[in-house]
Amino acid sequence: MKGLSLFLGCLVPNRYPGIELATKLCLAKLDIDCTDLPGASCCPAPGVFRSFDRTTWLTLASRNIVLSEQMERDMLTICNGCFSTLADANHSIKEDDSAKEKVNEHLEKIGKEVKGNIDVRHIIEFLYEEYGPEKIASYVERQLDIRVAVHYGCHLIKPTKDRGLGNFERPTFFDELVTALGATSVEYPDKMACCGAGGGVRSSMKDRSLKMTEAKLSRIKEAEVDCIVNSCPFCHMQLDEGQSDIKEQMEIEYEIPVLHYTQLLGLALGFPAEMLGIDTDIEKNKKFMNLLDAGMES
């Protein structure tokens, strides 16, 4: 297996740097060979850019892939959107010679060439496939005695024909990685439903996207969980900031902490909340951390 390069994308470094740090801390603690990927850009985001112009989308994605190819490393993503773009683009490069040729005509202008000789991974499927829940569990320093609503997000697993991670109706791999940390993954209705943000809907029709988010949050709330765990900063933003927007616009209050898996894993590996970007100045996060601490003492 090749080493990895960490593809950051936009939202993680520019809005949720805590997830960046959490990822780096977890990878180091788990002894995973992963380096920075200097000079990468937006993946570019599948919702808007792929919708706009496939050639532009594929060309910019290929430039990011080239950077990792030059390092002879597979790419690691921590965002479902980046995964969707980069895995799909990489697939096109590998399978479709004419697409590859067309892209390389553009890349030639900056002295680059995409070869199609690396893989694109998402941290959830990577940890599951290469480490597995048992090995992850062996690293846990702090058992998390909490109830978790796992949110897979759409593009981690769909389209299933391209992802190859099995059926999308009732997957378990992400849940298994959560239970490996001592937590309970709680079943809830519409668990596989979309957060509402994708496809450029959040940016151009926020009210409508929030209705989908509210529907999802109400199901989660009924399941009485201590937090939501996701694998994508875009879902993360929608489910977290979305709670404030919903409070303002619909006067419905959800006080559910939202964590990216790397943050939850970071807690289980013994890192303090502030190193993982979990802001304990926010009341719901403070309560969540108190709950964890109480679990430790008992």
Residues that bind other proteins (CB under 8 A): 8, 10-11, 13-15, 17-18, 20-21, 36-42, 44-56, 59-60, 63, 106-107, 109-110, 112, 154-155, 158-160, 168, 193-194, 196-201, 203-205, 208-209, 211-212, 215, 275, 277
Q: Distance between CA atoms of 62 and 75, rounded to whole angstroms?
A: 12
**Identity of the residue, 60 or 149, whose beta carbon is nearer to other proteins in the bound complex:** 60
CA distance 239 to 255: 11
Nearest CA among 64, 69, 60 for reference residue 118 = 69
Distance CA 67, CA 130 (A): 23
Cα separations in angstroms, 32 against 12, 87, 265, 275, 287: 20, 21, 14, 19, 32
Smallest separation (angstroms) from other proteins to the CB of 235: 11
**Cβ 73 to other proteins, closest distance in Å?**
14
The rounded Cα 245 to chain-centroid distance in angstroms is 22
Q: Are 75 and 4 a contacting pair, CB within 8 Å?
A: yes
Helices marked H in 159-232 — which ranges? 160-163, 173-179, 201-204, 206-222
What gap in Å lies between CA 241 and CA 259, rounded to an integer? 12
CA 220 to chain centre: 19
CB of 133 to other proteins, least distance (A): 26
Give burial (CB, 10 Å; 0-12/13-18/19+) of 152: buried
Q: How far is the CB of 178 from other proteins (least distance, A)?
A: 22
CB of 260 to other proteins, least distance (A): 14
Residue closer to other proteins by CB (options 121, 155) is 155
Q: Which pair of tokens denotes residue 51?
A: 């919708």
* Omega before 159 within 30 of 0, i.e. cis: yes
Report the C-alpha gap between 277 and 256 in whole angstroms.
16
Write down the least CB distance from residue 143 to other proteins, Å.
26
Give the shortest CB-210-to-other proteins separation in angstroms.
9
The residue among 117, 122, 178 whose CA lies nearest residue 154 is 122
- Cα separation, 57 vs 43, whole angstroms: 8
Closest contact distance (angstroms) between CB of 165 and other proteins is: 13
Q: Which is nearer to other proteins, 112 or 221 (CB)?
A: 112
